[in-house]
Amino acid sequence: MDSASWIAATLEDTFNLPFRQFHNPNVSLSFWGTLAHHDLRLYASLAILPTMELNPSLPPLPPPGHRGHANKLCVEHEQHRRLDRMYNIMAFPEAALECTGFNLPMTRTGDADFDHENGGGISVPARGFQINQTNPIGKPADIDKVLRWVLEYPLATANHMMHLVYPDTLDYTIQGGVVDDADRTILQWAKWGRDDITITEAKDTWSESVIFIVQPPWILTEADLERFVGCPTFPRPDSDANLRSHERLWGKIWDLCAQKHSHWFVLTTYWGWVFGAFSSARTCAFTSHVIPFDSKEPTIVQYLFFWLSSAVASHVHPHGAWSIPQVSAERARRRVQYPCTYLSICRKRKRFKERDALFALKDRCALFD
């Protein structure tokens, strides 16, 4: 261990505080810690997500191992939604370690740990590294703050790492979304993909993306997550049985990914993470096991870099990326009609008139590749 890392570790162990809080701007930065972009491979392996404590005003959570019974999503059977089988991805941690170990550089990459132009950047603390401190988010009492914890720590970090390692993804950004229905207080989503403002051609509207589905841990417990990843089948559209809680969640994720033209998703409560993907026609799904926020081998930062790299593998060609298995029974393409939304057609800014018309067509007809 070099002298800078030894001093940083001593400060943390002695005072139980991140060493960056002792930083004196008149002292050389290398004395206090390494910048993350100087060794992204080591940084990602040491970047453990900070602990998110809940607001004491919340009701007590169910005991460990118990389901919450509070995830009452408004999802019913739909004729267009066909999801036949769900599978668990084998050797998922090993695949993530291989991908990050090969693709994350150990030498300086880029100019900074933060994005001067768009804001955000590497924000997850790591021992021995000088990480810019973000404004405290506070203890969540609603889903909005949980979403902020997800966006401002792991997603902002993984997004900037992708930009540093793969410059071709600079137009891929984190775009927050709002569930404009009765579920908005228990489920929110965000998309990592091409920035809608930069889309000018029809082919760009179907670039691959990753949908992040966020639910509070008092709504989706660890037991609920385990039930979700352990679900092997989804009821047929003509079934008379009511959808159960984990099945409604599967239906919600299927609908969001179909509407946003994505095959890749991440489900998280911040405390727990599940990485998943749908087959070409979305008749099959594949998920990881439930991964805790403080996972160390790999870390959540490593898992995110692995999953984002895999989603855009056809664009950036990373070594060790995971590929969605092909399902022979699926048709190459099929069409599902979705109603146009008022917002997708009526826009105030006239200079985006052609782009908005393109979005209206995209909302009208979802193409399944």
Give residue-wise pLDDT tens across range 169-218.
999 999 987 666 789 999 999 999 997 665 555 555 567 999 999 999 99
Contacts of 64-70 spanning 24+ positions with Cβ under 8 A:
64/222, 64/223, 65/222, 65/223, 66/221, 66/223, 67/221, 67/223, 67/224, 67/227, 67/245, 68/218, 68/219, 68/220, 68/221, 68/223, 68/224, 69/245, 70/186, 70/218, 70/219
**Is residue 146 within 8 Å of 269, Cβ to Cβ?**
yes
pLDDT of residue 241: 85
Q: What are phi and psi of 175, to 5 degrees?
A: -120, 115
The distance in angstroms from the start CA to the end CA of the chain is 49
pLDDT of residue 62: 87
Task: Using DSSP, state whether 312 is helix, strand or coil.
Answer: coil
- Over residues 144-183, the pLDDT tens digits come to 999 999 999 999 999 999 999 999 999 999 998 766 678 9
Pairing of strands 264-268, 210-214: parallel
What single-letter amino acid sits at 266? V
pLDDT of residue 366: 44
Q: Which residues pair with 276 in a beta bridge?
A: 265, 287
Between CA 274 and CA 65 the distance in angstroms is 17
Task: Report the interhelical angle of 300-311 vs 156-165 (nearest 10°).
Answer: 50
Between CA 125 and CA 47 the distance in angstroms is 6
Q: What are phi and psi of 36, to 5 degrees?
A: -60, -40
What single-letter amino acid sits at 328? S
Question: Is 0.85 surpassed by the pTM of this model?
Answer: no
DSSP 154-174: IIHHHHHHHHHH-GGGTTEEE
pLDDT of residue 140: 97
Task: Please state, in angstroms and as integers, the Cα–Cα distance from residue 94 to each residue in 100, 147, 159, following that order.
Answer: 10, 28, 22
**Is residue 144 within 8 Å of 214, Cβ to Cβ?**
no
pLDDT of residue 7: 55
Of 54-63, 119-128, 327-336, which range is least confident? 327-336
**Is residue 291 within 8 Å of 272, Cβ to Cβ?**
yes
Task: Using DSSP, state whether 127 is helix, strand or coil.
Answer: coil
Between CA 309 and CA 134 the distance in angstroms is 25
Q: How confident is the model at residue 344 (pLDDT cuts 50, 70, 90)?
A: very low
The residue with tokens 């060794």 is 39
Angle value at C-alpha 102, between 154 and 20, nearest 5 degrees: 40
Highest mean pLDDT pick, 113-127, 169-183, 234-248, 296-310: 296-310
Of 52-61, 205-214, 305-314, 332-341, which range is least confident? 332-341
pLDDT of residue 303: 98
Between CA 149 and CA 155 the distance in angstroms is 9
Residues with Cβ within 8 Å of residue 107, at least 6 apart in sequence = 38, 39
Between CA 33 and CA 29 the distance in angstroms is 6
Kindly report the average pLDDT of the chain as a whole number: 83
The percent of residues in the chain predicted with pLDDT above 70, rounded, is 77
pLDDT of residue 240: 82
Q: Which two tokens stand for residue 69?
A: 């019974």
Pairing of strands 172-177, 188-194: antiparallel
Q: Which two tokens stand for residue 4?
A: 């800078």
The percent of residues in the chain predicted with pLDDT above 90, rounded, is 63
pLDDT of residue 244: 94
Average of pLDDT values for 243-250? 95
Closest CA to 6 of 127, 126, 125, 130: 127
Residues with Cβ within 8 Å of residue 223, at least 6 apart in sequence = 62, 64, 65, 66, 67, 68
